């Protein structure tokens, strides 16, 4: 099976995503809450960036905001530079040409993203029609190739099935096939494997990495699971209460965390960091966005805190090549080592 032809491979054609001061607020009852607060990061061509943090830290809203898909009443500011264009400032028609084509998104729950009354073939075809100039016949052939590529057995025989006729893991694959129909250069994946059993999780992550190799695609992967990060990502950005609190290359962060929150997350995973386990063991809970603590948002849970942490929110600053942290006491945290 030819899958996606080599001459179409994106390797070498990648673009960098540069996100600066991305901020998304929701004004629900007259008092706006900031779910994503001045988030900045880059994703280089072919790179896999993991976004990690506890539930409610703003990972999903960040991902959606990148494509102006944060749900109403969201207001998003900052800039999202993609291939020289600011996605946040583009006219709607130009944005539609990027969504699903250059940048595709896969969601956590495939049933909400798939249309239950359309066959899988129709749904892949819609994407192919929008993003390629293939004839109807060639689109059908390509749809089979795509289902085959994502590991749907006997793909040709499944084209006319509806989403409910697939198992959860297979639906997730169908959704990935639809996302990949436009041969995206960047894939935004929101917990693509959380609802699946571990074997299927592994297959899907392997598939995403395989496509990164084959298409030169970059990926932003939202996950709760540091084991998934260790297996899959090149870099990681740790989010807490809407902000990035630490970024760096995965190996370095796992070896020497500089933020007490990252250190706490790693403390919940056995050494080696590859065992599949949710992030559970930091005492206390994240703050409510409507009642954020003064100073550093993490200080109520932090054993390294001093007076300054109650008063001053630490900016995210570089401290070594490729590393950034937002902590007044990051050297002390690093010296303390892994818990
Ligand atoms: N449409 C909305 N209106 C108001 N608040 C919202 C809306 N969408 C998200 N939020 C709030 O934004 C914050 C961040 O949510 P988000 O879904 O990004 O977190 P997350 O880190 O992805 O969590 P999870 O891992 O549970 O998906 C949460 O406090 C959430 O309640």
Q: Is ipTM > 0.90 here? A: yes
Q: Kindly list the protein residues whose Cβ atom lies closer than 6 A to any atom of ligand 1.
A: 26, 28, 35, 53, 55-61, 71, 224, 289
Distance 218 CA to ligand 1 centre (A): 24
- The full DSSP string for 33-72 is EEEEEEEEEEE-TT-EEEEE-STTSSHHHHHHHHTT-PPT
Q: Which of 73-82, 88-97, 212-221, 289-298 has the lowest mean pLDDT?
A: 212-221
Domains defined for the chain, CATH in brackets: 9-102+221-336 (3.40.50.300)
Residues 6 or more apart from 127 whose CB is under 8 A from it? 100, 178, 179, 181, 182
Mapped onto helix, strand or coil, the DSSP state of residue 6 is helix
Distance 288 CA to ligand 1 centre (A): 11
pTM (two decimals): 0.88
Whole-angstrom Cα Rg for the chain: 21
Distance 150 CA to ligand 1 centre (A): 29
Distance 291 CA to ligand 1 centre (A): 15
Write the residue with the smallest CA distance to atom 5 of ligand 1: 26
pLDDT band at residue 100 using 50, 70 and 90 as cut-offs: confident
- Name the residue of 50, 59, 107 whose CB sits within 8 Å of the most ligand 1 atoms, as the mutation to test its pocket: 59
298-312 average pLDDT score: 96
> Each residue of 148-197: pLDDT tens digit?
878 888 888 999 999 999 988 888 888 888 888 877 899 999 987 776 67
87-106 average pLDDT score: 90
259-275 burial string, b = 16+ CB within 10 Å, else e?
bbbbbbbbeebeeebee
């Amino acid at each position: 099976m030819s899958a996606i032809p080599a001459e179409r491979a994106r390797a070498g054609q990648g673009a960098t995503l540069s996100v600066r001061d991305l901020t998304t607020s929701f004004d629900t009852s007259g008092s706006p809450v900031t779910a994503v607060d001045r988030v900045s990061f880059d994703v280089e061509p072919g790179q896999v960036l993991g976004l990690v943090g506890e539930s409610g830290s703003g990972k999903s809203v960040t991902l959606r905001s990148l494509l102006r898909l944060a749900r109403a009443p969201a207001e998003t500011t900052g800039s999202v530079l993609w291939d020289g264009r600011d996605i946040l400032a583009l006219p709607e028609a130009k944005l539609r040409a990027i969504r699903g084509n250059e940048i595709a998104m896969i969601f956590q729950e495939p049933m909400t993203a798939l249309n239950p009354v359309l066959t899988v073939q129709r749904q892949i075809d819609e994407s192919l029609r929008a993003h390629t100039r293939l004839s109807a016949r060639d689109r059908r052939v390509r749809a089979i190739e795509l289902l085959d590529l994502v590991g749907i057995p006997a793909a040709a025989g499944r084209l006319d099935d509806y989403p409910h006729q697939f198992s959860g893991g297979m639906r997730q694959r169908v959704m990935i096939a639809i996302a990949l129909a436009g041969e995206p250069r960047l894939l935004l994946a929101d917990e693509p494997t959380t609802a699946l059993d571990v074997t299927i999780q592994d297959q899907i992550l392997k598939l995403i990495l395989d496509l990164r190799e084959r298409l030169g695609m970059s990926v932003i992967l939202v996950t709760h699971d540091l084991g998934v990060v260790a297996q899959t990502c090149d870099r990681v950005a740790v989010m807490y209460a809407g902000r990035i609190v630490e970024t760096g290359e995965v190996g370095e962060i796992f070896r020497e965390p500089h933020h007490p929150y990252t250190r706490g997350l790693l403390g919940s995973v056995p050494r080696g960091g590859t065992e599949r386990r949710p992030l559970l063991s930091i005492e206390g809970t994240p703050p409510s966005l409507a009642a954020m603590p003064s100073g550093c948002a993490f200080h109520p849970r932090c054993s390294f805190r001093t007076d300054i942490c109650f008063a001053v929110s630490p900016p995210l600053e570089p401290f070594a090549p490729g590393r950034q942290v937002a902590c007044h006491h990051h050297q002390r945290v690093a010296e303390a080592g892994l818990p």
